[in-house]
Amino acid sequence: MLRWLLLIPFAVLIAIGAGLMATLVATVASPQLALLLGGGFERLIAAIFDQAASGFDPGPTAEAAFSLLGRLGFSILVAPVLLVAVACELFRLRSGLIQSGLTGLLAALLPLAMLRLTRTPSAGEMQVIAALFLIGAATGFAYWLIAGRSAGGERA
């Protein structure tokens, strides 16, 4: 019981931090991801200030945009590792490859499902999807290092 109350939440929080660090590394390695994250945020701030300068209330636009950014961040960093951690604990899956791979797969597919991408991704989008997979895999691996090797507790 102590494992569920202390170790698993601690491991998930550390894994999310590792995912943030992996995101920083991925933006250096992938120009498409850097352009998407940095350029998109820059355009968002510029659009909000342009709206305010032209006399419109930028509140609803900012609220919608930051809400979308929060949901995307949650679907890339938090939800995959949390879902895989709970599933691996329940089914006693102790393999680092399974935990990293499933977390990476969810980190790549959840944002696509949330944005409802219905067409074939372009080459640049595939590079972003691959970077999201690697970010998720790093997050899952960090969780596995802390709590996943003994998933489900000790065997009787």
Task: Give the per-residue SS3 of the chain.
Answer: CHHHHHHHHHHHHHHHHHHHHHHHHHHHHCHHHHHHHHHHHHHHHHHHHHHHHCCCCCHHHHHHHHHHHHHHHHHHHHHHHHHHHHHHHHHCCCCHHHHHHHHHHHHHHHHHHHHCCCCCCCHHHHHHHHHHHHHHHHHHHHHHHHCHHHCCCCCC
pLDDT, tens digit, 9 for 90 and up, residues 33-46? 988 888 888 888 99
Residue range of the domain that includes 62: 2-150
What's the confidence (pLDDT) of residue 58?
Answer: 92
What's the confidence (pLDDT) of residue 154?
Answer: 63
| Residue 155 is assigned to a structural domain of this protein | no
What's the confidence (pLDDT) of residue 149?
Answer: 81
What's the confidence (pLDDT) of residue 82?
Answer: 94
| Residue with tokens 């970077």, as numbered in its chain | 131
- Say how far apart CA 126 and CA 118 lie, in whole Å: 14
pLDDT tier at 81, thresholds 50, 70, 90: very high
| Residue 120 is assigned to a structural domain of this protein | yes
What's the confidence (pLDDT) of residue 152?
Answer: 67
What's the confidence (pLDDT) of residue 23?
Answer: 94
What's the confidence (pLDDT) of residue 120?
Answer: 84
| Residue 132 is assigned to a structural domain of this protein | yes
| Residue 110 is assigned to a structural domain of this protein | yes
What's the confidence (pLDDT) of residue 112?
Answer: 84
C-beta separation of 121 from 108 below 8 A: no
| Residue 156 is assigned to a structural domain of this protein | no
Average pLDDT over residues 117-137: 89
| Residue 15 is assigned to a structural domain of this protein | yes
| Residue 86 is assigned to a structural domain of this protein | yes
- Say how far apart CA 34 and CA 40 lie, in whole Å: 9
pLDDT, tens digit, 9 for 90 and up, residues 106-126? 999 988 888 787 788 888 889
Q: How many domains does the chain have?
A: 1
| Residue 145 is assigned to a structural domain of this protein | yes
C-beta separation of 106 from 138 below 8 A: no
What's the confidence (pLDDT) of residue 114?
Answer: 80
pTM metric for this prediction: 0.85
